[in-house]
Amino acid sequence: MNLYIVITMDVQCERFVKYALPAIRALVAKRLIEEKKMSQTEVASFLGVSQASISQYLSSKRGKRLVKEISSVPELKTAINRLAEMLIDKNCSEEEKSKAVCSVCKLVGEKVLSSAKILPAKS
């Protein structure tokens, strides 16, 4: 694999983890709590974070930078809703869940991160 491709992928993944993942977690948490009537503790368990993190996602202390932008893209909203369903589906394998996260990441990169004005300029 070309070193440029590896470095570019790493940078994209870093931007996703830093900016988009908190927003996605916030949207998934909100959906599971509001629509599935799950507790913050249950949602935290599915997302692999603490209950305190879920509280911060819900109060917009984490993830708020991109929540509005991600929510405004219908295709992303659908993908995040599908991801939320997969996370709580006991018949869904970890590999399937991981692939779903990757597909959301790719969509966020295409639809939001590439044009987000709130992100720092590339140096």
The per-residue pLDDT for range 90-111, each reduced to its tens digit, is 999 999 998 998 899 889 888 8
Q: Are 63 and 25 in contact (CB under 8 A)?
A: yes
At residue 39, the 3 state secondary structure works out as: coil
Q: Is the dihedral of CA 14, 15, 21, 26 positive or negative?
A: positive
The tens digit of pLDDT for each residue in 72-86 reads 999 999 999 999 999
Q: Distance between CA 9 and CA 100 in Å, rounded?
A: 18
> For residue 112, what are its two tokens?
């939001």
The per-residue pLDDT for 95 is 94
What mean pLDDT do residues 44-71 have?
Answer: 92
Structure pTM? 0.81
Q: Which amino acid is at 97?
A: K
Q: pLDDT-derived band of residue 117, with 50, 70 and 90 as boundaries?
A: low
